Chain A
Amino acid sequence: GAGVSQSPSNKVTEKGKDVELRCDPISGHTALYWYRQRLGQGLEFLIYFQGNSAPDKSGLPSDRFSAERTGESVSTLTIQRTQQEDSAVYLCASSFQNGGVDEQYFGPGTRLTVT
């Protein structure tokens, strides 16, 4: 079956512009996560959606970052007024959460470069 997909695969934008990244999770997966990976770093948690519960936004680095999810499907991560330090690979993952920690399936990521 289809895995997690993300678009675009690469995005180059000028400092100060807004960008929108998209994630299509695996069908039936109730949980969706956004992470980012800066060069030479591990994956950094950003935000987590689980069903109709309020999202866990504790990892968002600033109020320039926001994310939405429509039901249990597509999610978009929006970065407003991009800065050079936002350059990173943004990874989306989904899981069929049945309580507790479970396996997360990752998409290929969106490489964002802010010039």
Chain B
Amino acid sequence: DQQVKQNSPSLSVQEGRISILNCDYTNSMFDYFLWYKKYPAEGPTFLISISSIKDKNEDGRFTVFLNKSAKHLSLHIVPSQPGDSAVYFCAAGTGANSKLTFGKGITLSVRP
């Protein structure tokens, strides 16, 4: 049973436009959510996080939105840059236990 779902395997956007990456979860115990970015042959690197007491967190070009009632979060990247091309993983955890549950990832391609 997949508790964190990234239903779209890929996304292609034009440089300068907005990229919106979506993630859904089923476990209502999750109270902390993270996005990781992964380049080929490298480990994932932390991008941005949000706790369940917030509905938005912003860091530069990256904003994460959380809709708890819909069990849905999204990552917005604006403006998108070619260097943003990578695989993006959504992950979730609980305050009481730091192990993370990851989605399958989405491959973002930003066209110059």
A40–B9 Cα distance when bound, in Å, is: 9
Contact of A59 among B49, B95, B99 (CB under 8 A): B99
Query: Does A85 make an interface contact (CB < 8 A)?
Result: no
Q: Please, what's the 1-or-0 string for B93-110, where 1 marks a CB less than 8 Å from any CB in chain A?
A: 111111111111100000
Residues of chain B within 8 A (CB-CB) of A105 are 45-46
**Nearest chain B CB to A106's CB is how many angstroms away?**
3
* Chain B, Cβ-Cβ closest to A108: B43
Query: Does A103 make an interface contact (CB < 8 A)?
Result: yes
**Nearest chain B CB to A33's CB is how many angstroms away?**
7
* Chain A, Cβ-Cβ closest to B5: A42
Task: Say whether A101 contacts B104, CB under 8 Å.
Answer: no
Query: Does B44 make an interface contact (CB < 8 A)?
Result: yes
Contact of A45 among B6, B44, B49, B101 (CB under 8 A): B101
Residues of chain B within 8 A (CB-CB) of A103 are 34, 46, 49
* Chain A, Cβ-Cβ closest to B95: A100
A44–B99 Cα distance when bound, in Å, is: 10
Query: Does B1 make an interface contact (CB < 8 A)?
Result: no
Contact of A100 among B42, B98, B100, B102 (CB under 8 A): B98
A106–B47 Cα distance when bound, in Å, is: 12
Identify 15 residue pairs between A and B in the complex whose beta-carbon atoms are under 8 Å apart, listed by A's number: A35-B102, A42-B4, A42-B6, A42-B104, A50-B98, A59-B99, A91-B43, A91-B44, A101-B34, A101-B95, A102-B98, A103-B46, A104-B46, A106-B43, A108-B43
Q: Which residues of A contact B (CB under 8 A)?
A: 4, 31, 33, 35, 40-45, 48, 50, 56, 58-59, 91, 93, 95, 97, 100-109
